Amino acid sequence: MSITSQTDLVNIRKASEAVALTLRQMRDYARPGMTTKELDDYGAARLQSYGARSAPYLTYGFPGHTCISVNHDVAHGIPSNKVVLAEGDLVNIDVSAELNGYWADNGGSFVLGRDLHQRSALVDASKKILHKAIHNIRGGVRIADIGRLIETEARKAGYTVLRNLVGHGIGRALHEAPHEIPCYYDRHNHERFRKNSVVAVETFISTRATMAYQKNNDGWTLTTRDKSFVAQHEHTIVITDGAPIILTEANQVWDNL
């Protein structure tokens, strides 16, 4: 969507704050021994407390209120009573929601408890690359150039990027134009970021894999076939002529960078 009034900005800020606070609170609430269903139930209650409604549940009939993916799973993980979180797990939570007709999206990966398996460097790389990418976005910048920046920074850090999961426009629906903001350089993509538009920009930084694949037959969960690990971080922003407005900054994923 394009911000055309103060009302638009106020309302998209409210929706973004709801998802950002929910993500932060879920991250703080997560404990070893907890199931991902328990964590999702908590997230659902937090969204409800802000008057927001789960976007994947509303839009796609997703069997949960948030997406929670653990270790080799990358995205769209279904909350389950069978998945029990353990110390050192790489956990990704993606929270998107609708509030008063406005939609916002954010996500973040983190190591649960002690970093038993040395995944913190991957998580930190994803955060830092997203920060650099977003702060290079302004009206008129080519989307492909931001993809190239993300891919180049990942390679410098010794990682790869996923090529089949992308950021997107957002605002009046969960997914809007531009429909693809990839983590790699696509020379065929000639679109440019537009001033005053709202987009969800995300990184998918991998230890090895370049693609995510459907897991089993659940219809949702995406995973790596080679047992790679992937860290994802995502912010909803408003594009300006200068520094972007980070609508989901309350999730605090950039704290302590």
Q: How many residues does the chain have?
A: 257
> Is 237 within a domain?
yes
Residue 126 contacts residue 232 (beta carbons within 8 Å): yes
Query: Cα-flanking dihedrals φ and ψ of residue 171, to 5°?
Result: 145, -65
Annotated binding site: 76, 94, 105, 168, 175, 202, 234
Q: Region 141-152: what's the mean pLDDT?
A: 98
Give the model confidence (pLDDT) of 183-216 as tens digits: 999 999 999 999 999 999 999 999 999 999 999 8
pLDDT at 38 over 90: yes
Q: Region 119-135: what's the mean pLDDT?
A: 98
Q: Region 38-53: what's the mean pLDDT?
A: 98
> What CATH number corresponds to the domain at position 117?
3.90.230.10
pLDDT averaged over the chain?
Answer: 97
pLDDT at 257: 84
User: Residue 226's closest CA among 245, 242, 206?
Assistant: 206
> Is 89 within a domain?
yes
- SS3 state at 249: helix
pLDDT at 256: 83
Residue 42 contacts residue 125 (beta carbons within 8 Å): no
Pairing type for strands 230-238 and 90-99 reads: unpaired
Q: Region 116-126: what's the mean pLDDT?
A: 98
pLDDT at 217: 81
Domain span including residue 31: 6-251
Quote the CA–CA distance of 29 and 14 in Å, as a whole number: 22
Structure tokens at 173: 């629906």
> Is 40 within a domain?
yes
Q: Region 14-18: what's the mean pLDDT?
A: 98
> Is 1 within a domain?
no
> Is 61 within a domain?
yes
pLDDT at 119: 98
Please count the structural domains in the chain.
Answer: 1
> Is 257 within a domain?
no
Annotated binding site for substrate: 76, 175
Q: Region 16-33: what's the mean pLDDT?
A: 98
- Quick one: pLDDT band at residue 68, thresholds 50, 70, 90? very high
Residue 65 contacts residue 40 (beta carbons within 8 Å): yes
Q: Region 133-143: what's the mean pLDDT?
A: 98
Give the model confidence (pLDDT) of 213-230 as tens digits: 999 889 999 999 999 999
pLDDT at 72 over 90: yes
- SS3 state at 183: coil
Annotated binding site for a divalent metal cation: 94, 105, 168, 202, 234
